[in-house]
Amino acid sequence: MNLLTKYLLIKYAKNFIIVLVSLELFFVGIDFLQNFKDIPNSANLQLLYILYNSFFTLTLTLPLSLVFAWILTLIILIKNNEFVAFLSLGNRPISIYRPVIISALFLLGILVGMQATPLAYSYDQKNKIMEGEYFTSTKSDIFLKYNDYFVYFQRFFPLDKRAESIHIFKINGYDVVESIVAKKAYFQNNRWYITDAKIVKKPATLTWEEAKMTIQYEKFLHTLEGFKPKILDNVYESKSAFSIIDAVYALILLKSQEVNTDSIRASLYYQVFIPFFILPVIAIIFAFTSINSRFFNVGKFASVSIFFTLIVWGLFFMLHKFSKGGIIMPEIAILLPLLLWFIASYFIFKKRIHQY
């Protein structure tokens, strides 16, 4: 690492930390004050609410902080005539731009990686705390299809990974060939274990001699392998979020069931790809930066850059909402505009950077 890169990274890192902490305190603080009356009086739950909300807010504030810190860094470099000094010493513009892009790419990679962990459900957890359901989360009357089975849970406990009053119907074509009725079931080792089950089997041939129902009782049996409770909970609750791992699993699972997966694909693309929209924003802001402090209007540069960043972020957020609501296919609403955005920004940057 040369001296210029080290200097730029230190200055950019300081500005990034300042901006990130400021945005986090602002958003988390405003949210806490607005919902304080709905949050339980328990200090532990209040602290958990702040922690969950902090990470949820981080998915927004971190990408924006990377851009805002870059704007602040450029203003300081230009006003102190450091920018023009770097270029006068023979440094190429890419030498100033590259360290920031690499560090931004690294931090965004960490953010995406965190979305593959249970922290991705921070928004759901903070809402459960506010609604008094953090320790007791239940769903009722769930009916879903899984492979050759139709599954009905009268009561479902996602946190405990168990269900009550279960009815499972095995289908062969359009015929119900078997039904399993039980009072309790729990999920373990990637499968559901049912206790005290009543199994009713329909005869294969409906003749006078063989047309009889077979009824048997099992103290313990397992079925529905791979039918994960968290996937079940999130598919049932359409507004719920997914972690990246669960989204991929749900996508594979529901694809085989011929179920519409637009909402899941939209969430997955938004978590994995959308945060990187700020890389072209950083490049374009750099490309339109003036190197001469004498003709540099700080107020205009800062306001236009921030406004431009928020407009781009707002457009991608709007497209995500359209795709999640099933209005536009996720590939057309998210992936295609993001690809076009990278291509357009590359040509804009390449054309502008030749002026230096």
Tens of pLDDT along the chain (356 residues) come to 677 788 888 999 999 999 999 999 999 999 888 888 888 887 888 888 899 899 999 999 999 999 999 999 989 888 888 777 777 777 777 778 888 999 999 999 999 998 888 888 888 788 878 776 666 666 666 777 777 778 888 787 766 778 888 888 887 777 777 888 888 888 888 778 888 888 888 776 666 666 677 778 877 787 777 676 656 555 555 445 677 887 787 777 766 666 667 778 888 888 899 999 999 999 999 888 877 767 778 888 889 999 999 999 999 988 988 887 777 888 898 999 999 999 999 998 888 776 55
pLDDT of residue 237: 53
Query: Per-domain residue ranges for the chain?
Result: 3-114+273-353, 135-231
pLDDT of residue 354: 60
Rounded alpha-carbon distances, angstroms, from residue 121 to 127, 234, 263: 10, 10, 16
pLDDT of residue 262: 77
Q: How many whole angstroms separate alpha carbon 269 and alpha carbon 323?
A: 10
Give the residue among 177, 215, 221 at the shortest CA–CA distance from 196.
221
* AA letter at 265: R
pLDDT of residue 122: 85
Q: In what order do the strands lie in the sheet with 149-157?
A: 139-146, 149-157, 162-172, 175-188, 191-201, 214-223
pLDDT of residue 312: 93
pLDDT of residue 135: 62
Threshold 0.85, pTM exceeds:
no
pLDDT of residue 159: 65
Please give the distance of CA 277 from its chain centroid, rounded to a whole number.
15
Exposure class string for 216-242: b at 16+ Cβ within 10 A, else e:
eeeeeeebbeebbbbbbbbbbeeebbb
The token pair at 102 is 């690499």
